[in-house]
Amino acid sequence: MMGRDPDYLAFLRARLAAPGGTGGTVGDARREHAADLARSPRPPVDTVADLTVDGPARLYRPAWDGPAPALVYLHGGGWVLGDVESYDPVARALAVASGVAWVSIGYRRPPEDPFPAALRDTVAAVHWTAANAARLGLDPARIGVAGDSAGGQLAAAAAGLLRDAGPARPVLQVLLYPALDLREAPPPLPDPDGLRFPPSRIDSALRAYLRGADPTAPQASPLLDPDPSGLPPAVIATAEHDPLRPQAEAHAARLRAAGVPVTLVPGTGLDHGFLGWGSFARRPAEAVARIGAAVRRALT
């Protein structure tokens, strides 16, 4: 395992040295997470429109000649944190990098609404987007599903549930440093630069999300899908120093073995969460650009 790029390492050290959150309530954690994401710029996109898809949603549609291909996007945040507004910088960056439309979805979150509420919202959002594509300027024949981190778990699980959904079947799944095996929290990876990260809250997030549900069910752990052969093509992006990377790589291997086309975008030298950091260092910016190019190729 190689050390991090000096430019990116300097950014990460400064980020880790900044005062941390105060913890406290779920509401406190959500506000701190939103404040962290708010530091990222919001690049312009040709069309940005708020929607209502059971809950809040937002369309990001770059300039396109005719109906645009689109991805239904599920934000990260460990299922508990994040919403459409706080992930606005990330959705804009992905829309700009890919040149295709993204429909960011606000889903129900634990602890108020545990599994399978968020997954049901995801599946409903894909059906809604396919049914309303024409009025949104989208191509109903080129709609996929995407997500990062916890949103990647939702996207992968929804792709499994929608594989036989006819017109609503996603033509692509885009999984960005996804969580794909919820049986237990992944062990930390050795850090080549000796960085000390805050304690992970993944155990509490998993408990809040699953709340007693079977973690071995494919709807919870898409990596355990017994037959991935009918799943849509995938773009999977990883981060080298992310404990979730082995899950994503194993999922990519299983999909390929089942005959599903996979584009794997390795985030060499990067960490979980890099989608929001492209404006601060060269290495994450390059990774976002590679993800965008892979998505555009897959949808066009």
Q: What amino acid positions are annotated as catalytic residues? A: 149, 242, 272
Order of strands, edge to edge, in the sheet holding 262-265? 47-53, 55-61, 101-105, 68-74, 138-148, 173-176, 234-237, 262-265
Looking only at Cα atoms, what is the longest distance across the chain? Answer: 51
At 170, the amino acid letter reads P
Residue 25 has φ and ψ, to the nearest 5°, of -80, 170
Token duo for residue 20: 């941390």
At 175, the amino acid letter reads L
- Which residue, 55, 206, 213, is CA-closest to 121? 55
- Which residues partner with 60 through β-bridges? 48, 102
Cα–Cα dist 70/143, whole Å:
5
Burial label, 101 (beta-carbon count in 10 A; 0-12, 13-18, 19+): buried
- Between strands 68-74 and 55-61, the pairing is unpaired
CB atoms within 10 A of CB 143: 24
Contact (Cβ atoms closer than 8 angstroms) between residue 155 and residue 145:
yes
